[in-house]
Amino acid sequence: MSATLEKPKPGLALALLLPLAIWIAFSVVAVVLFVMGFQRAEDVADDLARVPAGQATEVDLSSAGDYRIWLDRPGAGDEFGLSATATIVGPDGESVPARDYVGSVEYNDLSAVLTFEAPQEGTYTFTVTETGFSESTSDTQFAIGKGNPFAEVGKGAALMVIVGSIGFVIALIVMIVLLVRRGRSKRRITQAAFASGAYGPPGGYPQPGGYPQQGGYPPPGSW
């Protein structure tokens, strides 16, 4: 009766399913981070101060620094040639210059058109007017703030790629290590089985049979 052979460890299912589970877990985290990036972008967009187009409006700025002025109108993120002018008066009554925004940054209905530097915190008065190819409509307004919703989306996408890549590399390393261990275990089991005779002695090939002896020729003169 043949002996029961030990199974190689780890099992093939573990060597394949554990890396897959690791990769899936990291992928889920990556997708969550990407979705959170969109949620943060929505929060940043909602936190921007709104002023109606062409009307002097006071806005409280909580700190000094660089700010953006966004054109906020349905479909503005898909339009081209958008521009605006702004008259900005600081808390001290001094005028604050606004510059055209260099580049193109859009998010949903927001499109960056101007930028300015607030020298101090306080209440600023804004009068912003659209001057691009499109004409201002009744629902045209401008959003003011430091936040950049598009940057939040970019951060979420970058984190998704980084976390997903790290998860893939870790899963691949784990799979390679487990498969190598399994291969070593199989070789060890095979060697031990041969040493213990579990596989039986190797069968030999039968000796080739001899050829039948052929009869000789009769001596001369016997014909």
At 92-125, the pLDDT tens digits run 999 999 999 887 777 778 888 999 999 999 999 9
pLDDT at 1: 45
What the block records as the tokens of 83 is: 């521009």
Question: Is it the case that residue 198 has pLDDT exceeding 60?
Answer: no
| Least confident residue range of 41-55, 74-88, 179-193 | 74-88
125, with CB counted inside 10 A (0-12, 13-18, 19+), is middle
76, with CB counted inside 10 A (0-12, 13-18, 19+), is buried
Asked if residue 37 lies in contact with residue 152, where contact means CB atoms within 8 angstroms, the answer is yes
Among 131-135, 172-176, 215-219, top mean pLDDT goes to 172-176
Question: Is it the case that residue 223 has pLDDT exceeding 90?
Answer: no
What does pLDDT average to over the chain? 83
Please say whether the dihedral angle defined by the alpha carbons of residues 33, 38, 40 and 41, taken in this order, is positive or negative.
positive
Whole-angstrom distance, CA of residue 180 vs CA of residue 166: 21
SS3 content of the chain, % helix, strand, coil (to 5): 40, 25, 35
Question: Is it the case that residue 152 has pLDDT exceeding 50?
Answer: yes
Strands of the chain (E only): list them. Answer: 49-52, 57-61, 65-72, 84-89, 95-96, 98-100, 106-107, 110-118, 122-130, 141-145
Asked if residue 124 lies in contact with residue 91, where contact means CB atoms within 8 angstroms, the answer is yes
Which of the pair, 207 or 154, is modelled with greater confidence?
154
What the block records as the tokens of 32 is: 């969550």
Whole-angstrom distance, CA of residue 59 vs CA of residue 71: 16
**Region 166-181: what's the mean pLDDT?**
94
pLDDT at 79: 66
pTM score, two decimals?
0.64
Whole-angstrom distance, CA of residue 38 vs CA of residue 181: 43
| Least confident residue range of 60-64, 109-113, 164-168 | 109-113
